[in-house]
Structures are given as C-alpha cells and as structure tokens.
A = this chain, B = another copy of it.
Amino acid sequence: MRPPAPLKSENHLYEQVAQRVIGLIDRGILRPGDRVPSVRKLSLQQKVSVATVLQAYRELENKGLVEARPQSGYYVRPRFLPLPPEPEISKPACSSTKVTMGDLAVQVVQGQRDPSLIHLGAAVPSPELLPMAQLNRSMTSIGRRSPLLGTSYEAPPGVLLLRTQIAKRAMNQGWTLSPNEIVTTCGAQEALNLCLRAVAKPGDTIAIESPTYYGILQIIETLGMRALEIPTHPRDGVSLEALTYALDNHSIKACLFSLNFNNPLGSCMPEANKQRLVELLAKRDIPLIEDDIYGELGFGPTRPLPAKAFDKKGLVLLCDSFSKTLAPGYRVGWTAPGRYQKQVEQLKFTSTIATATLPQYAIADFLANGGYDHHLRKVRRLYAEKVQLMTQAITKYFPAGTKVTRPSGGFVLWVELAPHINSTELYHLALAAKISIAPGTIFSAKQKFQNFVRLNCGNPWSGAIENALIKLGQIIAAMNKR
C-alpha cells in the first residue's frame, strides 16, 4: 500500500529527520553497512508520520548516504567520495569485421590459475558465494538413489526435471516458457555456439554490443563469422537508433546481445527498449540471441525480464547458465531457441551428444528444494557491496580523469583511463606487479577500447585487493605522466 502524502505542515520535518540521521552518520554512530532505524521505529521515536520518515530516507538516498535493500530496509552506504564520471556511449566503427582475437583473452583467463596473482582479470563469481557443499550433497544422494543415471546419455533436449524447474522460474517472473522449449547445454558458452550455428553461416555478419564479452568474439571468430559493433550505452545498453541505422545499411544475419548486465558494462536495457528491440527485429525476421547469464544478479529489487519474454515469433534464442550463480565447474547451461529448436538440438547432439547427467539433476534439485531465490537475494546484495567497495577504491586510488561505470548488476567494472593509456601495456605492467586485469581491447572486434580495463569485483574484498588497486593506480599515474 502506498503511504499517504505528507501533511503540508510537515514539509520541513523530513529535513529535520534527515539531518538527525546525517548527524548519527557523521559522528560514526551509524557506520557504513549499518542498518538505519526502521521507518516505523523512527516515526514513533520522532513523533512524525511514516510518510515523513520515508521522505527523509528518500532524501538521504538521493544524497548517496543510505541505500534501500529490498525487503530489508535502509542501510548506510559505504562511501562518501563523489564518484568519478561514467564512460560515454561507445562509438564503434560502422563496418563489420572478420574477427581475429589474439592470445590475450586466453592469457587473461589462464592467469586465473596462477595462485601468485591478485585476480582482477577473469570475471568469475566469488567461490564463497557458491553453495557447493549443498550441490555436491544433492549429487551424492541422487547418484545413490539412482545409480543407473550416469549410464545413459541424456540426449537433447536434456534432463526434464531441470527443464521443468527452469520453466517454473520463468512463470514466477511473469512470463511463459514450456519445459519442451528448453535444451540443456554444457554451459551458456555451448548454448551461444549452438544458437549462432543454428541461425548463421561462416561469412555472415552478427551485430554485437560494443564493448562485448570476449568469449562471444572468440565464438564468432572460430565460426568464421563477421562482427558488427553497435553503439552501447553504459547504463541502457544497445542504442536502438544506432541498431536501426545498422540494420538499414548492413546485411545483418543475427544479433547477439546481453541485455541484462552486459559484461563488461553492467548495463541493463530498459523494459520498453527490450520490447521495441524484439519488435524491430521481428519486423525484419532477424533472430536475437540473448545472453542472459547475469540476469539473476541485478542490484535492484526485481529481476529484469529477458527480451525472450516479449518474443511472439520464436525469433529470440535465450541462452543462460548456472555458472555465475551456482557452480561454474558443473558446466550446466541451457537455451530456449524458439523456432530454431530442432536445429539446436541436432547441433547439440552432434557437438557433445549430451550434457553430463548428474550435475543437471543436482542443479534441478537445488532449484526445487535448495532455496535458490533466498540464495540469489543474498549474493545480489553482496555483489552490490563488492562493486561499491571496488568503485570506492578506484575513486580513491586512480588518477583524476578516470571514468567508471555504475553497473546495475553483475560483478565487473568497466574503467576508462586517460586517452593515451595503452591497456595492453598496463596489463603487462600489472602482471609484473602480480596483478591480473582484463585489457579493454579484448572486448572489441576492432581492438577498440585501448584505454579501458575491466576489473572483476567477484572475489572477497581484502587488504590484498585494496593494495593491488593502490598499486594499479600508481602504475596508471606513472603512465599518465609520460
């Protein structure tokens, strides 16, 4: 129920209430991360209406002093420094490219295995935020109950129990997906491969976001396709105006976008835009491959819908996985490939025959009984905090002129440095200082974003990470001075 509007006479009261809270924060009585008194409590305490307290808290929120957490209340934000500006919308070249990725992306991922490094490179979820013990227990008890499960191939479309759970989640989000429309895969990576192969041939042009996840560029490269980068806003995602222009002027075979918390931007396309995007492509009969692996990791109160929810013609091929939220090493993903389902199933069968059986059952069990939503609420909050801590440290330790994104989900930051900084050089200098980062060029088919880096915020915050950011800031400052 909406609270009633505050009385006229109380118009200044909310400011007084806000000032009291600011005083508590200033004097260190309320510290970053603390919960501020509940609306009801403060209303009783200060003898003002609930509406006044709410208004006071909204004021504090606007000032960046507190933040609302869904179903939990208001909390003191951990930072006070004014944040650096955000990068602007990207301006990629208006021509398609045969993709040729170097070894750099592979090096970044392989760096992940080196225990001597501070890992800000690969975008991996925080191990302590994954319910491995519970999942492994599920796998054990399933293997014991049904020892024959591992003896056969779960040929496409894959384990029905898991597909049913996935379909239920769509229903709970307010849209419809049938278990029969879903095909399980070896992670979202296989799903993206299969979908691209189902809709396009070598030589065809695929429209992608700019910047885009390097794994997608590698798929396009190995399939011999071409990439066309579309201007992408760091908050709202792909520019539909630019996309329309590109569609008018290029022969685009398919789009491959990550609309919810694009990696590396953390952008989220507004719902109205998603709807327009689906309509725009439907009119031209162009398939949209939607990579939604970060969709569950938004910082807002509700999970944003995938574009697939607006798909009426079966032209959206939704790809997703449990690698960012549950277990990367289980290699379980899925796709809802719309009208391309038959092709995708055949390609899946030909590529890997089936996805490993027991991991699929274990995840289905977790989804049915493990409190996935509770788990997600927790990790969303924690990733929001990690991203904020990292943003704060960048604000403190990186040279003036640095720009940084305000991701609304996921766990990476996209950082723009001074124009002349070469992030590949920075990557090597940082590596020499035992810090791994992801240089900007690997996120572009045309090696743009030379002065950008992506930083992973997934790992547990620590002094070592803070020190690494101090060191990075020093390296960048030294490069700035040359």
Contact = CB atoms under 8 A, between A and B. Distances in A.
A64 interface: no
A143 B150 CA distance: 17
A353 B113 contact: no
Nearest to A143: B136
A224 interface: yes
A368 interface: no
Given A346-B106, A352-B186, A143 B152 contact: no
Contact of A328 (B124, B152, B347): B152
B186 A186 contact: yes
A186 B150 CA distance: 14
A347 B133 contact: no
Given A143-B139, A202-B224, A127 B113 contact: no
Contacts of A136: 140, 143-144, 147, 150, 358
A327 interface: yes
A19 interface: no
A38 interface: no
Contacts of A153: 109, 112, 124, 328-329
Contacts of A150: 130, 132, 135-136, 327-330
Contacts of A52: none
A350 B219 contact: yes
Contact of A140 (B143, B151, B219): B143
Nearest to A333: B352
Given A189-B353, A329-B154, A222 B347 contact: yes
A130 B151 contact: yes
A331 interface: yes
Interface in A96-146: 106, 109-110, 112-113, 124-125, 127, 130, 132-133, 135-136, 139-140, 143-144
A349 interface: yes
A110 B125 CA distance: 36
A112 B155 CA distance: 10
Contacts of A197: 222
A1 interface: no
Interface string A191-202: 001000100011
Given A124-B152, A127-B148, A331-B355, A350 B218 contact: yes
A139 B352 CA distance: 21
Contacts of A215: 350, 353
Contacts of A234: none
A444 interface: no
Interface of A: 106, 109-110, 112-113, 124-125, 127, 130, 132-133, 135-136, 139-140, 143-144, 147-155, 186-187, 189-190, 193, 197, 201-202, 215, 218-219, 221-222, 224, 327-331, 346-347, 349-359
Given A136-B140, A189-B350, A329-B356, 19 more contacts: A132-B143, A136-B144, A139-B139, A139-B143, A140-B140, A140-B143, A150-B327, A151-B327, A186-B186, A187-B352, A190-B351, A193-B351, A202-B202, A215-B350, A218-B346, A222-B350, A222-B351, A330-B357, A356-B359
19 contacts: A109-B153, A112-B153, A124-B152, A130-B150, A132-B149, A132-B150, A135-B150, A139-B139, A139-B358, A186-B352, A186-B355, A187-B354, A189-B351, A218-B350, A222-B346, A329-B356, A331-B352, A356-B356, A358-B359
The 4 closest A-B pairs by CB, nearest first: A136-B143, A329-B357, A150-B329, A127-B151
